[in-house]
Amino acid sequence: MRVLCVISVLTMFSLQYAGGKGLKNFEVFWVPPQVETYTPVTAENIEKMAFKIVAIRNERQADEIVGLIHKSDQAANSTRIRVKISTDEQFYNFDSNGVGVSSAGEAVGIDLKKLKMALCE
């Protein structure tokens, strides 16, 4: 069942990093969700304010991370962005509750605890 979920999420978001080329650009910018900052962390400054940047080069790990992303019906708090997942094709920004938005404007969500485990934190 998990395999079907991963396949459907990959199809839904059209993440195209396969095809024999390998991963070129898959990065996760991370500010711990529980951290309060004096300056709001937004989609525009998350890359500069990230506490940690993880470059993913393992396709299995990339699949696991993308598999955690799901559609949502909630709106992200644009001044509390804590995670940005950036791929060759698109990016996702998530707030401190795991609610986010894709570069295509779709409302998405992610379980931040599972993401942390997938990143080997």
Contacts of 35-39 with CB under 8 Å at 24 or more apart are 35/82
Instruction: Provide the pLDDT for residue 24.
Output: 72
Residues 34-82: tens digit of each pLDDT: 999 999 999 999 999 999 999 999 999 999 999 999 999 999 999 999 9
CA quadruple 94, 95, 97, 103: dihedral sign: negative
Task: Say which residue, 12 or 76, is predicted with more confidence.
Answer: 76
Q: How many separate domains does the chain show?
A: 1
Q: To which residue do tokens 């993913």 refer? A: 56
C-alpha–C-alpha distance, residues 55 and 5, integer Å: 24
Q: Which of 47, 45, 51 is nearest to 27 (CA)?
A: 47
Print the domain residue range for 52: 2-118
CB 94 within 8 A of CB 41: no
